[in-house]
């Protein structure tokens, strides 16, 4: 049974221009015959056109699916890059906090050391004073002992 381009386009629910495009893409031995500027489409040519359309539809739907997957992957990559930059900023902030904490600990240790030195300096004169006091006390005791000696013993020194 033969059909025209218009009949086939109506049956397949596509435009006539699309049918003409498909006909031009078919190999010459599969193209329909042209009579009075009209294509006469036989059953065999109709099968070839439908097969091409099915293949084209499948590849276009696959292409659309690939495009969707690609766009989703691009979005995912953008999100991951954003997260990565956020985490890098967090890491930098934490490193600064750590450096600051280490600096504060060093300062605290230095202050503690200087405090210990000051305490030692303050305690050291006390020790010297105690030893001086003990020595002074012993000298005073000796002088008192000598003053208790009798008049002649002090004078003659025995």
pLDDT digits (tens, 9 = 90+) for 92-148: 999 999 999 999 999 999 999 999 999 988 888 766 666 666 666 666 666 665 556
User: pTM for this structure?
Assistant: 0.39
d(CA 98, CA 92): 10
Using the CB atoms, write b or e for 63-92: b if 16+ within 10 Å.
eeeeeeeeeeeeeeeeeeeeeeeeeeeeee
The pLDDT value given to residue 116: 93
The overall longest dimension of the chain from CA atoms, in Å, is 171
Radius of gyration for the alpha carbons in the chain, expressed in angstroms and rounded? 55
| Cross-strand bridge partners of residue 41 | 3
List, for residues 47-57, the tens digit of each pLDDT value: 888 888 777 66
What is the 8-class DSSP label of residue 3? B
From the list 86, 82, 96, 12, the residue with the least C-alpha distance to 46 is 12
């Amino acid at each position: 049974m033969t059909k025209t381009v218009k009949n086939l386009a109506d049956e397949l629910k596509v435009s006539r221009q699309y049918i003409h495009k498909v006909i031009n893409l078919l190999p010459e031995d599969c193209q329909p015959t042209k009579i009075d500027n009209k294509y006469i489409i036989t059953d065999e040519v109709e099968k070839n056109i439908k097969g091409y359309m099915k293949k084209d539809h499948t590849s276009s739907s696959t292409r659309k699916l690939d495009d969707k997957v690609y766009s989703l992957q691009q979005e995912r990559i953008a999100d991951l890059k954003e997260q990565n930059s956020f985490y890098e900023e967090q890491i930098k902030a934490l490193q600064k906090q750590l450096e600051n904490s280490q600096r504060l600990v060093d300062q605290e240790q230095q202050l503690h050391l200087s405090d210990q030195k000051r305490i030692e300096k303050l305690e050291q004169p006390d020790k010297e004073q105690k030893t001086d006091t003990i020595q002074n006390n012993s000298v005073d005791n000796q002088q008192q002992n000598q003053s208790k000696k009798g008049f002649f013993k002090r004078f003659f020194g025995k």
